[in-house]
Chain A
Amino acid sequence: MRRSWFLWLTAGLGFLFLYAPIASLVVFSFNESKLVTVWGGFSTKWYGELLRDEQILGAAWISLKIAALSATGAVVFGTLAAYVLLRVGAFWGRPVLRGMTTAPLVMPEVITGLSLLLLFVSMERALGWPAGRGMMTIVIAHTTFALAYVAVVVQSRLVDMDDSLEEAAQDLGAGPVRVFFDITLPVIAPALVAGWLLAFTLSLDDLVVASFTSGPGASTLPMVIFSKVRLGVSPEVNALATLILAVVALGILLAGLVLRRR
């Protein structure tokens, strides 16, 4: 099988391409030297610097709060949108809703960010709300674009779900609200968890939309990293990246174990 080794070689190079940058981040996070590309001996001092960096720690805390809030909002509204699109039957606004839940997926972030900023500015002028921009406006913005991703995940689960489950519950005497909470919600729960995690990650990762919609005093972690990185490579950021990687890998590992046990 000559084609077999060719295939494995190209695939191997592909994985090298995927992991080389990550490996370099990890390796240089333990570098003594401030020069990120020259090895100056093993050290964990950048982790110490990182843990003393008030700006980064504050931004990380803000980012986590924003991500948790907007992921929760996105799951609530995204699930409702998916449910309305697939379960309540035809109504006049359905094409509009369908468009509004798919368009954010293809919308360049700069447009989403700019348009929401302009809305917030005009709303503040007209209604006095939201008073200034900050965490609240970022949460609204992230909820709105992450909602579309949640809706996709939940819709695919709802399509796979046997419709007669809901009919059976109704047949056994449950009203529509009961059916939703007793049957639909538990059956699609894995999709809600997946959607929440996806929305959380998207929010935690976002630089562009947050930059447009944030105000003074509400700098997210990506915004802080971006401004540091623009000034040059910083070993502190390497240490941060390594920590994030470790947390994510651990989280996925645990999730995998939990799923396997069930």
Chain B
Amino acid sequence: MHAEDVDCDRSAVHVKPWRAGADAPFIQIDGITKRFGDVAAVNDVSLDIWKGEIFCLLGGSGCGKSTLLRMLAGFETPSAGTVRIDGQDMAGVPPNARPTNMMFQSYALFPHMSVENNVAYGLRREGLAKAVVADKVKDMLHLVQLDGLARRRPHQLSGGQRQRVALARSLVKKPKLLLLDEPLGALDKKLREETQFELMNIQDQLGITFIVVTHDQEEAMTLSTRIGVMDAGRIVQVGEPREIYEHPGSRFVADFIGTVNLFEGRVDVAAPDAMRVMTDVGPILVDPVQGLSARQEVAVAVRPEKMRLTRKQVDAANSLPATVQDYAYMGDITIYKLVLEGGRTLKVSVANGDGDGAPITWDEHVFVSFPTRAGVVLTA
């Protein structure tokens, strides 16, 4: 992104309206529930999403994220709750009359139509003039870099090209809200990474609000303005990617996003400058947290990259002796699996810098240290 873009950009990515709470939210989901028989696939979910956001619904399979998306598109009728898009209540509005479009996980390209007819299908339903349709299709195919493939059939395209046709088809009607169901799920890793940035770029140009369903946390981290983590039909945490990663609200979120070392324990002393938590590996010092009582059960979460690994003991708030059980060299970093006294294991990642000295290896006795701010105290 160029510097001047940032300057004049007023999109949600930069304004962050959810922080200020100034404008009214563009999409208001209020207490929405979907029951299939006795099972609540989506259970009392409320969400506010602002114009221009890329909002990711992140969760494992069966967590209800796809059902929530299908309720927004109108394919499922909520058992309770309301959805408002741009102030308009969506209850009883069929999918073909909603200001939303969807990009399907399977792409759902019409196999008997050419690329251009696939893209034009939605515009023709609006009864636009032929020339207008042709122009819009041409522009859209250009935007997704598919010029020259207009007359191909879907089965003559590569996976990445099909993905872009599906995107073009769902964007061409300029919906108020675009729903994307695992948009990059069918692509291989390399293509997925490239496409992520392309997707963000297109969204930025068109200013359409995206809601993306994904099970891939990296994808969610890269794409989204905010993430809603779902588990068992409920939203367990909503926040910006950094917030979710650095300040997970619960053991589930901490464990689901990235790798984490969790230490279960009780609050021992709550001092003004540091708080001590008694855990199964001994006392751990963390930054003080408001509203905790003594002896309250908590967990301390520490990310592997926030820990330091040294051969000699260093001066740090927390320092634990350990033995290297195993390690995996990943190129940019090395991940160590360590055994503490008492038998529990830890994961620590070490950046491979200029390679000063011999790297730490199997069976070495080492010290794991981390500052008070590295530990996140979790009560849920």
Q: In their complex, do chains A and B touch, with some C-beta pair under 8 Å?
A: yes
- Please list the residues of chain A having a beta carbon within 8 angstroms of any beta carbon in chain B: 162, 164-165, 167-175, 178, 182-183, 186-187
Q: What is the interface of chain A mostly: helix, strand, loop, or mixed?
A: helix
Task: Kindly report which residue of chain A lies nearest to residue B172, judged by CB atoms.
Answer: A172
- Distance in angstroms from A12 CB to nearest chain B CB is 39
Find out whether the CB atom of A175 lies under 8 angstroms from the CB atom of B108: no
| Cβ < 8 Å to A, chain B residues 113-161 | 121-122, 125-126
Find out whether the CB atom of B96 lies under 8 angstroms from the CB atom of A173: yes
Q: A169 to chain B: which residues have CB within 8 Å?
A: 110, 121
Interface residue from B98, B106, B126 paired with A164 (Cβ < 8 Å)? B106
Closest 4 CB pairs of A and B: A172-B122, A173-B125, A168-B108, A164-B108
B276 sits at the interface (CB 8 A) = no
Find out whether the CB atom of B95 lies under 8 angstroms from the CB atom of A175: no
Sample of 10 A–B contacts (CB below 8 Å): A167-B73, A167-B102, A168-B108, A170-B75, A171-B73, A171-B74, A172-B101, A172-B169, A172-B173, A182-B121
| Cβ < 8 Å to A, chain B residues 69-102 | 73-75, 94-98, 100-102
Find out whether the CB atom of A171 lies under 8 angstroms from the CB atom of B110: no
Q: B104 to chain A: which residues have CB within 8 Å?
A: 164, 167-168
Find out whether the CB atom of A167 lies under 8 angstroms from the CB atom of B75: yes
Q: How many angstroms between the C-alpha atoms of A169 and B169 in the bound complex? A: 10
Q: How many angstroms between the C-alpha atoms of A45 and B126 in the bound complex? A: 67
- Distance in angstroms from A214 CB to nearest chain B CB is 41
- Please list the residues of chain B having a beta carbon within 8 angstroms of any beta carbon in chain A: 73-75, 94-98, 100-102, 104-106, 108, 110-112, 121-122, 125-126, 169-170, 173
Find out whether the CB atom of B112 lies under 8 angstroms from the CB atom of A171: no
Find out whether the CB atom of B102 lies under 8 angstroms from the CB atom of A168: yes
Task: Kindly report which residue of chain B lies nearest to residue A178, judged by CB atoms.
Answer: B125
Q: B170 to chain A: which residues have CB within 8 Å?
A: 171-172
Q: A171 to chain B: which residues have CB within 8 Å?
A: 73-75, 95-96, 98, 100-102, 170
Count contacts between A and B, CB distance < 8 Å.
63
Find out whether the CB atom of A187 lies under 8 angstroms from the CB atom of B95: no
Q: A178 to chain B: which residues have CB within 8 Å?
A: 125
Known: A168-B104, A169-B121, A172-B122. A187 touches B112 (CB 8 A): yes
- Distance in angstroms from B241 CB to nearest chain A CB is 28
Q: Name, among B97, B101, B112, the residue most crowded by chain A CB atoms within 10 Å (CB to CB).
A: B112
Task: Kindly report which residue of chain A lies nearest to residue B70, judged by CB atoms.
Answer: A167
Q: How many angstroms between the C-alpha atoms of A173 and B127 in the bound complex? A: 10
Q: A183 to chain B: which residues have CB within 8 Å?
A: 110
Task: Kindly report which residue of chain A lies nearest to residue B102, judged by CB atoms.
Answer: A171
Q: How many angstroms between the C-alpha atoms of A167 and B76 in the bound complex? A: 11
Q: Other than the known A171-B101, A173-B125, what 5 A-B pairs have Cβ atoms closer than 8 Å?
A: A164-B105, A168-B104, A171-B96, A186-B112, A187-B111
- Distance in angstroms from B101 CB to nearest chain A CB is 6
Find out whether the CB atom of A173 lies under 8 angstroms from the CB atom of B122: yes
